[in-house]
Structure 1
């Protein structure tokens, strides 16, 4: 770690003359379209099953493979951002992402489409740590809230609007246009960044530990793959593929943790957890990402399976909340700078708890207006918590931990999102099955709709418990102070 601290002072002096806004715009444009693709394709799956002549479980690899690559790459990014400059990392990530987008657009079959998606995922996996690490280097702690709020617009808004946007595109265009329309923006991002993006980091080129990379790949990849596969097929958690992958991943992850704590220059420096606000952030990020991703999956089941809404109508119903989430994030960032984290995180988690409880009371008679208001409140609550708690946790870290802190939180977000989706869907499915087993007419459309509501109720009850836990953690939040270097 000594190699980083040596360049800290001259680097800080150089950053004083850097124009921050063009750099921030460069990062936001590229990150928005790369993160957008995480959910953009999902709504086209039914169409792709027919057109590509593959089964739904095979096609699921377009989503599972995407999450796998991102989860595997993010831990290694802590090393990569210390080996390459900001420009090299960002431009490299966007070029890989653009290449993957082009391949997806012209793919003649499933195999080529999967290769394109994995390349897109590689670009996205490299993008997020660069984005957050650059903000930490570029802005002092007292101004980070507003900058991180702008990043929140990307992190939260892009995946949330993905299904709505793809629904609008697929209403009149072929699924390939999901990629054709993104490609020009990705290329524009490369050109804009080439002109305006400046280096804000100085490569220190620490030692590469191949075993750590291998263990993190098996560990995070095995857990994400196992949880993502649990919803496929009939076997579920009794499938050796599922529990075997999770067990292998857990063992590899345990070995990875032991190795990192014993190394002088670890791949992912877990000593960041000795800072209490950062540790609290990690716990709350797990809760919030599980809540966010699972809700994004549960609500379409409720809208379409229980209330009989079309995919297009479901997307439109989720649009106002998604838009407000993006618009509120920069505002909460500025409020964070002025009032600190407690003024946002405590009321945010309180609102989240109330909304999750109301979702447990939803019936097939619940109006679309009620669901619209609940979703808007949910997305506002999440924007009040996510970026403020993340900014507060990272603010407590010394400069040398920035690459590791951002990589840890991004890894946690990806893994928690994958686990949350699989866990809540399995809870919903089991609740639905129990309802139908007790039903006098399990084939009746009304009973099938009621079974979906029953399953969603079970999932949201657990989500309510998570939200209450987040509220309790929020009560212990303190404004973090950046330590002396």
Structure 2
């Protein structure tokens, strides 16, 4: 590996830089799901309803999604060292606010401030990893990033359940405060400016279109579970979101120096990889939410126990991400993705046959198999897409990829929840049967609930099969060997050269 030198020509400790990055980003991404099993305790503490407490997650994901498109401009404009430190300070302020919050309003404000820091730090992690490693070693680098981005949200519910059962809800935030403080101190010494910067102007109109568009769209999909697809609120926010995103895209295409460079989609390899990773994200997050519901409602498990049931799968993903990263550097993304999606599909089909008597160990193994397959696809496909871009477009590619995946996650969750709810509701027996034959009513109610779960799993299988088909369109051997690097698509390379000539 070549010697680590920053933008100022100074040597730096690459290992310590990566360590600081990974620990800090793990803390921030963990907060996406850390309140998963804490809602009952928070509802009791602040005397609030389910729909109100849900904003602690919905609002967090919305602000996070809004910040991701902005991250490309920030990464190109500001020194990566101080940008990362600033993101961690913002996150720390939000965490402290949540930790000491005397009211629900302050807690929600803390969560939204946290989300700003996460929206900057998560894409920045990928940008830095892609910048400090040559293209033939990016698979291993992104494999390490995959441990953080994939595993931290997965262990959130389990950690949350344990803390709530053993301590107080405030400790969910209090335990993170000293870790992030240490990360900030270490970052001052070990973080370096490793991303080339320029001075692009901030287009406020693009920022407004992006904020309103993605904010409305994410809110609309997040509201489907509670309000349904026919809700005026859901339809209105989705329509507003689509309109403003179209305006945002139109403005980016027209601008000479766009806020977010959408010409990354001129690369066929990047486009295919982004679509693939987004569809896989839908298949993952939807089932990630449905399985705990099945365990708690059908098997009567506690939130902590249902989280522990999913923990082996999260650990499987943690172990496999670096391994699949190194495999990507050797054989490319196509064969890895096809094999992984085959395992994902095979691991999802048996969920169609689950019943009340299905052994828990069966669920544990199937869920672990699914995440094993996903670990072979997610970061390798993302890395393949980034390798197809020239260096000056990597920050834009990262922002686009993360934004599309964030929206896909919201869509996937909304679709699976609505299918589960609608199928269950449509097959529920009438209330008259409850009076006439209570036992039969109970039996039919259970069958209706199980039909809802099976319908949701059918949707998950459909997404898995779609992703498997897309994987065959990936280039065979995007990275040919450790001695050869990736060539950017001709249109992007020519564009890159012309930009340099104008400069």
Which residue among 235, 256, 260 is the counterpart of 1:243?
Answer: 235
| Pair 1:129 & 2:123 matched | yes
Structure 1 distance, partners of 2:302, 2:9, is 51
1:367 matched to which residue of 2? 359
Which residue among 282, 289, 294 is the counterpart of 1:290?
Answer: 282
Which residue among 153, 175, 182 is the counterpart of 1:181?
Answer: 175
| Pair 1:138 & 2:135 matched | no
Superposed CA deviations along residues 137-196 of structure 1, whole A, max 9, x for unmatched, are 111110000010000000110000000111111111010000011111111111111111
Structure 2 distance, partners of 1:133, 1:73, is 15
1:216 matched to which residue of 2? 210
Please say if residues 304 and 314 of structure 1, whose CA atoms lie closer than 8 Å, have aligned partners that are also in contact. yes
2:193 matched to which residue of 1? 199
Alignment of 1:345-364 (within 5 A): 345-364=337-356
Structure 2 distance, partners of 1:452, 1:286, is 28
1:8 matched to which residue of 2? none
Alignment of 1:152-163 (within 5 A): 152-163=146-157
> Residues 176, 262 of structure 1: CA spacing in aligned structure 2 closer, same or farther, 3 A cutoff?
same
2:409 matched to which residue of 1? 417
TM-score using structure 1 length: 0.94
Alignment of 1:104-119 (within 5 A): 104-119=98-113
| Pair 1:314 & 2:306 matched | yes
Give the deviation of 1:342 after TM superposition.
1.9
Superposed CA deviations along residues 428-460 of structure 1, whole A, max 9, x for unmatched, are 111111221379558955544433321111111
Structure 2 distance, partners of 1:16, 1:324, is 38
Which residue among 468, 475, 490 is the counterpart of 1:471?
Answer: 468
SS of 1:346's equivalent?
helix
| Pair 1:103 & 2:100 matched | no
Give the deviation of 1:259 after TM superposition.
0.9
Structure 2 distance, partners of 1:368, 1:56, is 28
1:272 matched to which residue of 2? 264
1:482 matched to which residue of 2? 487
Which residue among 23, 27, 31 is the counterpart of 2:21?
Answer: 27
2:141 matched to which residue of 1? 147
1:459 matched to which residue of 2? 456
1:170 matched to which residue of 2? 164
Please say if residues 67 and 418 of structure 1, whose CA atoms lie closer than 8 Å, have aligned partners that are also in contact. no
Structure 2 distance, partners of 1:20, 1:482, is 25
SS of 2:428's equivalent?
helix
Structure 2 distance, partners of 1:16, 1:180, is 37
Q: Give structure 2 stretches of 5+ with no counterpart.
A: 479-485, 497-503
SS of 1:230's equivalent?
helix
Structure 2 distance, partners of 1:173, 1:135, is 36
Structure 1 distance, partners of 2:357, 2:371, is 23
SS of 2:358's equivalent?
coil
Structure 2 distance, partners of 1:296, 1:138, is 33
Structure 1 distance, partners of 2:103, 2:442, is 36
1:6 matched to which residue of 2? none
SS of 1:42's equivalent?
coil
Please say if residues 130 and 141 of structure 2, whose CA atoms lie closer than 8 Å, have aligned partners that are also in contact. no
Please say if residues 7 and 194 of structure 2, whose CA atoms lie closer than 8 Å, have aligned partners that are also in contact. no
Report how many aligned residue pairs link the two structures. Answer: 474
Superposed CA deviations along residues 191-213 of structure 1, whole A, max 9, x for unmatched, are 11111111102320112111110
Please say if residues 305 and 449 of structure 1, whose CA atoms lie closer than 8 Å, have aligned partners that are also in contact. no
SS of 1:265's equivalent?
coil
Structure 2 distance, partners of 1:29, 1:260, is 34
SS of 2:169's equivalent?
coil
> Residues 391, 197 of structure 1: CA spacing in aligned structure 2 closer, same or farther, 3 A cutoff?
same
Give the deviation of 1:12 after TM superposition.
7.9
SS of 2:225's equivalent?
coil
Q: Which moved more, 1:65-74 or 1:412-421?
A: 412-421
Alignment of 1:362-401 (within 5 A): 362-401=354-393
Structure 1 distance, partners of 2:340, 2:425, is 34
Which residue among 36, 42, 47 is the counterpart of 1:48?
Answer: 42
Give the deviation of 1:16 after TM superposition.
8.8
1:4 matched to which residue of 2? none
Structure 2 distance, partners of 1:457, 1:318, is 19
Which residue among 413, 425, 430 is the counterpart of 1:433?
Answer: 425
Please say if residues 37 and 160 of structure 2, whose CA atoms lie closer than 8 Å, have aligned partners that are also in contact. yes
Superposed CA deviations along residues 287-342 of structure 1, whole A, max 9, x for unmatched, are 11111111111011110111221112111111111111111101100111112112
Which residue among 23, 32, 37 is the counterpart of 2:31?
Answer: 37
